[in-house]
Amino acid sequence: MVAQQNQIPTGEGLSLEKLWAYLDASREQAERRQKEAEQQAERRQKEAEQRQREFEQRQEKSEREWAELREMFKETNRQIDLSRKEVGGLGRRFGKLVEHLVGPGIVKRFGEQGYHFDGIKKQRHKITGEEGNLRAEIDLLLENDDTVIAVEVKSRPDTEENYLERHLRRLEIMHEHRKEEGWEGKRILGAIAGAIFDIPAKKATLKAGLFVIVQSGDTMRMEVPEGFVPKEW
């Protein structure tokens, strides 16, 4: 609230004493207003400086946090790259395991079912499109004069997401490329081989018309229930 200014004394009763009293009161009032204005300006200046410090602190904190995040991203990417390399190494080692453990036993098991092969035709057989793009990769390919069998090898088929759908799609692609691959006139069959095969996964695989091959000790065994008829592509 603005203080009311002293009114200048007038009239016949004006004396020097009253005039000095008026001037003193006016001076004090002016000094008080000036002091209040200076204090208010000082408070505003301090508030502005405080806000500036807080802004700078937040900015510094943000820059520090961003630097930490960048380091975290770098470390995460490094771990991802390392994991990819490890997975790739595991895949190569697993391929060798397929060659030495699964392959020889599989040829014998199919022979017991009336499908006779001289051996594994190819490992990791690739089917490419017209532009050279990879369309399908087959872990083990068996082939004779009238039959081609694509075997997908998994450590635990039941835990591999969409393993069955993916292999059925491979068989469809094989059918689409049978002319380019020299399989015209041959029946195309499919099989899933697994180190650990749970019952639901076996049932789903058999229901889809694929052979089930399970590790047994140091060899493989084929589970063919009565009445099973493999699907042909």
Convert the pLDDT of each residue in 37-55 to its tens digit.
888 878 888 888 888 888 8
**Interacting residues of 102 by C-beta distance below 8 A, sequence separation 6+:** 140, 151, 153, 193, 213, 215, 220
Q: Look at 216 and 4; give whichever has higher pLDDT.
A: 216
Q: What angle do CA 136, 207, 152 make, to 5 degrees?
A: 30
Q: Which residues pair with 151 in a beta bridge?
A: 140, 191
Q: Which residues pair with 154 in a beta bridge?
A: 194
- Residue whose token pair is 């020097």: 16
- Confidence grade of residue 73 (pLDDT, cut at 50, 70, 90): confident
> What kind and span of H or E run contains 196?
none
Q: Quick one: tokens of 43?
A: 């408070």
Whether residue 166 contacts residue 183, with contact meaning beta carbons closer than 8 Å, is answered with no
Tell whether the model's pLDDT for residue 89 goes beyond 80.
no
pLDDT at 13: 57
Whether residue 216 contacts residue 106, with contact meaning beta carbons closer than 8 Å, is answered with no
Give this prediction's pTM. Answer: 0.60
Q: Quick one: tokens of 187?
A: 């029946």
pLDDT at 24: 63
| DSSP E strand boundaries for the chain | 122-128, 134-143, 147-154, 187-194, 211-216, 219-223
Q: Among residues of the chain, what percentage have pLDDT more than 70?
A: 79
Look at 6-15, 96-105, 142-151 and tell me which has the smallest mean pLDDT.
6-15
β-sheet with 147-154: strand ranges across: 122-128, 134-143, 147-154, 187-194, 211-216, 219-223
Look at 8-17, 97-106, 107-116 and tell me which has the smallest mean pLDDT.
8-17
Distance CA 155, CA 196 (A): 6
Q: How far apart are the first and last CA of the chain?
A: 96
Whether residue 146 contacts residue 182, with contact meaning beta carbons closer than 8 Å, is answered with no
- Domains of the chain and any CATH numbers: 96-223 (3.40.1350)
Q: Among residues of the chain, what percentage have pLDDT more than 90?
A: 37
pLDDT at 66: 79
Whether residue 157 contacts residue 201, with contact meaning beta carbons closer than 8 Å, is answered with yes
- DSSP-assigned letters across all residues of 78-102: HHHHHHHHHHHHHHHHHHHHIIIII
| Burial degree of 175 (CB within 10 A; 0-12, 13-18, 19+) | middle
121-167 pLDDT, tens digit each: 888 899 998 888 999 999 899 999 999 999 998 878 876 678 899 99
Name which of 142, 192, 143 is nearest 165 in CA terms: 192
